[in-house]
Amino acid sequence: MKTREKILLALIIISLALLAVILSFGALGAVPLKTIRPLGSFYLYFMANNNIVIQEIYPSITKPSDFWAASTEGITAILWDYRGLDTLFETSVFFFAIIGSVSVFRYYSVSLEEKNKKNTNNSSTNTKTSGQGLSLIVKLITRINFVVIIAVSASIAFHGQLTPGGGFQGGATLAVAPLLAIAALSRYFVEDVGLKKNTMLTIRTLGLLIIGLLALTPLIMGFAGGNPYIMENQPKSWAMFIGFPSFGLGVLLGSLAFYNMAELLAVGAGFTVVFLLLTLPEEFFKKILSREVGKQ
Amino acid sequence: MIEEYLEKILWTYMFFVIIATFGVSIYGIVFRPNMLKKIIALTIFGDTANVFMIFIGYRAIYPIKPPVLWTSHPDKNVLNTFVSQSIDPVPPALVITAIVINMAITLLITFLAIQAYRLYGSLDVRDLSKLKG
């Protein structure tokens, strides 16, 4: 190890030790606390409470419906209702990350299946799924799991405003289904059932478009008056937007449920695009890449 | 008295583990020449930061519950019980944003690393830094 590296390592160790000392002297207050912090307590009191005034704790608030998010799940309420703009930009970061990844793999314009067909001169034998993937038992179990995973992910996303979960978590679970199918049944099967790159990109854009429209809906309805703001969920006394339905099918909804459904589509399809690109065979890619480099 | 003392030791141990993991991940980012190892260390760093945030939001009480209300029409007693037992929901809400951003960044740099390997046949930063143009 060189002297420069040794100094660097020593600096890292010293700074971490300093951090430990600062923390143990209570830089963040007593961690963990026994009581709850005032901000957290405020969110917890008002996220699902539109009719009871907690006069002893918050005497100045006479209208709790100004702060309610129509959600029984505290973290979702904070994410979409109290700091929704942050979440909107977070979705934008995810959008640009996928766009960036796809643009790195821009050479990939035809599906693997079509490419193989051209190579075999349209032979009449069914080369698509036969002889690909793992054993029959694994294939069968994967087919069953494929459906179950989709059902579970839908459940996670559609209950997102009531229980832990939500659009992103549901979408991430949904993307496991094609990943499992790629591993067990081969990439041909996945492309065969219609999960192609361009289809997935379209679904993802559709999901993001719905999110954008949902965010802008209060502003569009604001042309009729009421002074609403972007991403408004429930009516406020200072911005009288009619509000997203706070009860539907006997459960709380708000805008949160609709965002979750759109996010499920966007994230699920986005991850599937990434998995499809990552499982491209190296030879296939190298052939295209060498041709592209040769052109320059 | 002994219980409080034990609790203190447990939390100090937690701090130690989190800071040690920070140390390992920073070592990986700074000293490992392989890009893939750097990326793995970066994800460990991000996840440790998230665990640290969750740790800040936790409360040293029993019973402790997630911030999920069990009724859509809460009365005063229900709300007071709920707030007295729930964790602080603000740090987990920050973490969930951080997870998505972390994932997006990891995704992008992984793709760039794959592309670099395909074009130049190496993931060693010492080799890649010699490239011109």
Q: What is the average per-residue pLDDT within B93-115?
A: 91
Residue B9 at interface with chain A, using a CB cutoff of 8 Å: no
pLDDT for the residue A108 = 57
Range of the domain at A101: 80-295
Q: What is the pLDDT of residues B70-103, one digit of tens each?
A: 888 888 889 999 999 999 999 999 998 899 999 9
Distance, in Å, from the CA atom of A282 to the CA atom of B61, rounded to the nearest integer, reads 53
- Residue B89 has its nearest CB partner, among A49, A51, A74, at A74
- Residue B75 burial class via C-beta count within 10 angstroms: exposed 0-12, middle 13-18, buried 19 and up: exposed
Read off the pLDDT band of A245 (50, 70, 90): confident
Give Cβ neighbours of residue A140 (< 8 Å, ≥ 6 apart). Answer: none
Using an 8 Å Cβ cutoff, are A200 and A179 in contact? no
Radius of gyration of chain B (CA): 21
User: Does any domain span residue A2?
Assistant: no
Residue B78 at interface with chain A, using a CB cutoff of 8 Å: no
- Quick one: which H or E segment has residue A35? none
Q: Is the pLDDT of residue A54 over 70?
A: yes
Residues A152 and A50 both lie in one domain: no
If you measure CA to CA, which chain B residue comes closest to A95?
B104
User: Does any domain span residue A16?
Assistant: no
Read off the pLDDT band of B133 (50, 70, 90): low
Q: What is the pLDDT of residues B2-47, one digit of tens each?
A: 887 887 788 778 888 999 999 999 999 999 999 999 999 999 999 9
Backbone angles phi, psi at B70, to 5 degrees: -90, 0
Position A157: which residue type? A
Contact residues, B window 14-73, toward A, CB-based 8 Å cutoff:
15-16, 19, 22-23, 26-27, 30-31, 55-61, 66-73
Using an 8 Å Cβ cutoff, are A157 and A133 in contact? no
Which of B5, B132, B93, B102 lies closest to A47 in space, CA to CA? Answer: B93
Q: A217 is written with which tokens?
A: 């809906």
- Other CB atoms within 10 A of residue B115 CB: 15
Residues A89 and A219 both lie in one domain: yes
Q: A86 is written with which tokens?
A: 């942050």
Residues A102 and A155 both lie in one domain: yes
Q: Is the pLDDT of residue A131 over 70?
A: no
Using an 8 Å Cβ cutoff, are B89 and B57 in contact? yes
Residues A150 and A291 both lie in one domain: yes
Q: What fold, for B2-128?
A: Helix Hairpins (1.10.287)
Total domains present in chain A: 2
